[in-house]
Structure 1
C-alpha cells in the first residue's frame, strides 16, 4: 500500500502505531491506522507531543502526571486523551530515533519471533513485525494497563462523588418545626 503524505496529523481513536522511517536524510513517521496508512514529515515524538496539545494538555504535563500517578520514570506510557481511551506507549526511550509509539487500545497480543523481534496482532486482525523484544512489549502493555486503570478509577471516583453531591437529599430537618419557601410550617403532632 502506498503511503499518503500528510502535513498535519493528530493521534485519534483509529491510530494503531507510529514508527520512524528514514525518508531521504530525515526521519519521518509512518502512521498506521485501522484502515489507512500515512507518511508525515514529523518525527513520532513530535506527533505525540502535538497530539497531547490537540487534546488540551502538553506532553511534559502528561509525562509528569503519569510519574506522579504510577511512579514510572522511564519509557512512560502517555494518556493522550483518556476520555477517548487514547493511551500510547513507547518501545524505547522516546528520545531515541528508533522509538515506535503503539496504541494500547488496538493491541490484541504480541507474539515472539526471536529475541529482538515481535509480531504484534492488532484487534482488526492486521499484524506487524516490529524490532522490539516481546518481553519489552508485554511489559509496556502491562504498564499502560496500570496507568489506564488508575486514571479510570480516579475519573469514576469523581463521577460518583459528583453524582452523590447532585442527588443527595435536602438537609435533614432536626427541629420540630420546618420552614418551606420562607413560610413557617407546623409538623403534625400526635
Structure 2
C-alpha cells in the first residue's frame, strides 16, 4: 500500500470506497480514503466524510444510525447503510467519536486474519491488505453485525414488495379510496 495519495477537497463514499482511515497531519486529523483503484487524502475527519456521504444519498447520519437501531438493535459501534441502492454498508472499528476510528466497507472485505492480539490484517477483494489496530474478534463481530443489518434490511424490502405485489388487496384499497361521486355546483357551494 505504498502508492502515492492525491489530495482532494470533496469526497463522497461510493461503491469503490474500501476504507476511510484517520491520518494525523500536525495537530489535525485528515482522512486517507482507500478505493479499489485509487487513494486520496481529504482534509476532513472520517466521521465528517461519513456524515456528508449519508446526506449526499438523502439521509442524515443520525437517521442511518436510528435505522440500524430499529433493524438490529445495535447502538454502540453501529454499522450503517450509507446508500441502500448501491449496497454501501460501512462499519466502524471503534466508537465513531474516537479520532482513531476507521470505517470499513463491508462489501469489499474478502477475508481477515489475526496479525497480533490487538491487530487484524484485512484483505480486500482487490487483494490489497490493511492492518488495523483492532482484535480479530472485534473485527469479526463488526462484520457479523453488518451482515445482520444487510439481511434485515433486505428482508424488510422483500416483505414490503410481497405486500404490494398482492394485487387483490392493493386494488381493493385503491377502489375504496377512489369512489366516483357526481358533484353539482350551486351558488358557489358543492352539493
Q: Specify the TM-score bucket, using the shorter chain as the normaliser.
A: 0.7 to 0.9
- Residue 75 of structure 1 is matched in structure 2 by 77
Unaligned runs of at least 5 residues, structure 2: 173-191
Shift of 1:75: 0.2
The CA distance in 1 between the partners of 2:171 and 2:103, in whole Å, is 50
Unaligned runs of at least 5 residues, structure 1: 172-190
Shift of 1:132: 1.1
Larger radius of gyration: 1
Shift of 1:168: 7.6
The CA distance in 1 between the partners of 2:135 and 2:146, in whole Å, is 17
- Residue 51 of structure 2 is matched in structure 1 by 49
Aligned pair count? 170
Q: How does 1:60-139 map to 2 (within 5 A)?
A: 60-139=62-141
Out of 150, 153, 156, the residue aligned to residue 148 of structure 1 is 150
- Residue 58 of structure 1 is matched in structure 2 by 60
The CA distance in 1 between the partners of 2:171 and 2:164, in whole Å, is 15
CA RMSD of aligned residues (A): 1.5
- Residue 176 of structure 1 is matched in structure 2 by none
Give deviations 1:64-98, integer Å, cap 9, x for gaps. 11111111120000111112110000000000010
Q: Name the CA shift for 1:170/1:21 in 2 (closer, same or farther; >3 Å).
A: closer
Shift of 1:162: 2.2
Shift of 1:164: 2.4
- Secondary structure at 1:60's aligned position in 2? helix
